[in-house]
Structure 1
Amino acid sequence: MERFLVIMERFVAVPPSPELLMRTAVTVAQDSAEEQELVFEGYAYTYRIVRQSTPQTEPLLLLGGSSQNRHSWQGHEKWLAPLCTLITVDLPGYGSADFLPARYGIDFLADAVQHMLTEIGVPQVNLFGGCFGEVVGLRFAQRHPASVRRIVFAAAAIRLPRLYSEAVPQLSRTLARGDIERAADGLVRLFMSNPGAGKVRRHAAVARLLQQQFVNQTPDEVRKAVEHNTRLVTHGCYRPLRVPAVPSLVFTGEYDTLCTPEMGRELARTLPGALFTTVKEADHLVTVERRQESADLIARFCTDRPIDDLPYCGPLESL
């Protein structure tokens, strides 16, 4: 299961344009970025911060998926960095950080987030979590509520999707036979909506890049992916703990067949006073297919601007 989640998550982090655009996106705001390695409970990890000297809101902490790294959201920086300081991180067990054994669960990762904020002197953040980033982000908010000013979650759920759980055994057997291409085909079908479900921006291009990312995993990524899967199976992805009563928003692509809109609503109901919406012409990979729109939605919510009646969103629901 993890290998497929890993590839999807890395893909969410990469703009859906050709390779030249991806390289260009990586350079955005690079000169103003700082990186620092920290150690939490014996495990090294690295954060990245792009500072804004005249912020309009609290720093924005972006927690991406299981194979996204601290550079994965640079394609969104041109819309977000003018508003506030941006923080991304390779937590232990992910990206370039130290390998983290599966005996360390979600609580450990949530506490590592708090360790980072304490070390860099940031008392409170606007929290974004996408896919697996929501799992860590929600637990962080539950364990360290004073550190959270606002919450935004995307393409996420509080339980493993049934489609995912059912597809994993067959895909795993395909991988064991060494048939990477067939496994990649199955992964694309799993994470992307059926073309007949509705119009999704850049559907064909996104599918091609997703498959490419899958077949290009490094041995280190595979090892961490497998351990991540074991971690989720062992510790689970949700605990019904108290959530801080802060402004909260959940959104997903209108054609998301993995973490469906109804699963997004289920997540929103666990957050006091949360709002929910869908992004039009998108599926599970909403932050890739509609990168500018998703950045705009996050920015508007974190600066208390209206988010109702946005042309790229469905109706705003109060849950």
Structure 2
Amino acid sequence: MRTAVIAAQAPPRAEEPRPVSSAPEPAEERDLVFGGFRYTCRIVRQSSPQTAPLLLLGGSSQNRYSWQSHEKWLAPLCTLITVDLPGYGSSDFLPASYDMDFLGDAVQHMLTEIGVPEVNLFGGCFGEVVGLRFAQRHPGSVRRIIFAAAANRLPELYSEAVPRLSQTLERGDIEAAADGLVRLFMSNPGAAKVRRHAAVARLLQRQFVNQTQDDIRKTVEHNTRLVTHGCYEPLPVPRVPTLVFTGEYDTLCTPEMGRELAATLPGALFTTVREADHLVTVERREESADLIARFCTDRSVDDLPYCGPLETPCGEMAGL
């Protein structure tokens, strides 16, 4: 077990008064094994939580440390859990024959092992794919659902890019693959105003260029897994409070695709975050953290200055 100290900082400012939470505890890491594959989770515990533990499942290019910049707003509210599932981050390589059911069950295995019976579930991009399958297969473990930059089908842009990017990675042309991935994930910089667009593009480029051979192998296998198994099964979804949001200029999982996803989730709310694209949680860290925190603590997410209008695509009332 490894530990790392995370400094506690003030949560986002809000109009509604909230109870004062204690400082989060030092981060704890747990090495676990599921189905013969080793994987690692990271836990920042809150001894005086205002809500259920928050499980953050990020995109395929994110790992269990990718949410540290959000901790200063979220850790004072509740226990935070991040994870490198089998096949991702520093965890064991997972062959593409293992599908989303396996990954969803791995999430449940982790929660059982660390003694967390119920979570507020956040899934961003690929994290939504895994998170939704987890929620469908283990509905009793989910108290609230938040999905960001997500869809219930593979984006056409992604399906078209996967063979080209996989071939580029396999032949070792990392620079070209990085250029292609940045173009895939981010909007055209001249098409709209997106916060921190240039800085985030540089960050993403460096991240892709600095991938190890293990990272590249896992990326190729991830793409194969998604194309082979797809990302959505029309299974029942727990009737819990649900929010879907995306950047207003997301060109990969567009706002319309987000609405389509929300329409399949009972009572789900949908909104867009202004001046952001697919990387909304990176471009607008504080705002996305505030939105997540509000929803998880039953505060209003309507009429926020950084969001578009709140919608209910499925036609039911939210907050079931």
TM-score norm. by structure 2 comes to: 0.88
SS state of the match for residue 196, structure 1? coil
Shift of 1:28: 4.2
Q: 1:28·1:74 contact (CA, 8 Å) conserved in 2?
A: no
Q: Please point out which of 227, 236, 241 is paired with 1:233.
A: 227
Q: Please point out which of 251, 254, 257 is paired with 1:260.
A: 254
Between Structure 1 and Structure 2, the one with more helix by share is: 1
Q: Residues 60, 31 of structure 1: CA spacing in aligned structure 2 closer, same or farther, 3 A cutoff?
A: closer
Shift of 1:204: 1.0
- Compute the RMSD of aligned alpha carbons: 1.6
Q: Distance in 1 between matches of 2:89 and 2:170?
A: 24
- 2:215 equivalent to 1:217: no
The aligned residue for residue 206 of structure 1 is 200
Q: 2:178·2:209 contact (CA, 8 Å) conserved in 1?
A: yes
SS state of the match for residue 52, structure 2? coil
1:5-44 superposed matches below 5 A: 27-28=6-7, 32-44=26-38
1:1-319 superposed matches below 5 A: 27-28=6-7, 32-175=26-169, 178-319=172-313
Q: 1:61·1:88 contact (CA, 8 Å) conserved in 2?
A: yes
Q: Distance in 2 between matches of 1:211 and 1:89?
A: 23
Whichever residue aligns with residue 254 of structure 1, its letter is E
Q: Residues 283, 28 of structure 1: CA spacing in aligned structure 2 closer, same or farther, 3 A cutoff?
A: farther
Whichever residue aligns with residue 191 of structure 1, its letter is F
Structure 2 alignment gaps of length 5 or more: 9-23, 314-320
Whichever residue aligns with residue 294 of structure 2, its letter is R
SS state of the match for residue 318, structure 1? coil
Amino-acid identity (%): 84
Whichever residue aligns with residue 307 of structure 1, its letter is V
Whichever residue aligns with residue 47 of structure 1, its letter is C
Encode CA deviations 1:268-289: one digit per residue, 9 max, x unaligned. 1111000000000000010000
- Alignment size in residue pairs: 294
Whichever residue aligns with residue 34 of structure 2, its letter is F
Q: Distance in 2 between matches of 1:42 and 1:178?
A: 30
SS state of the match for residue 70, structure 1? coil
Whichever residue aligns with residue 281 of structure 2, its letter is T
Shift of 1:31: 6.2
Whichever residue aligns with residue 297 of structure 1, its letter is L
Encode CA deviations 1:207-244: one digit per residue, 9 max, x unaligned. 11111111111001011111111211221111000000
SS state of the match for residue 33, structure 2? strand
Q: Residues 70, 170 of structure 1: CA spacing in aligned structure 2 closer, same or farther, 3 A cutoff?
A: closer
Q: 1:250·1:276 contact (CA, 8 Å) conserved in 2?
A: yes
Q: Residues 183, 272 of structure 1: CA spacing in aligned structure 2 closer, same or farther, 3 A cutoff?
A: same
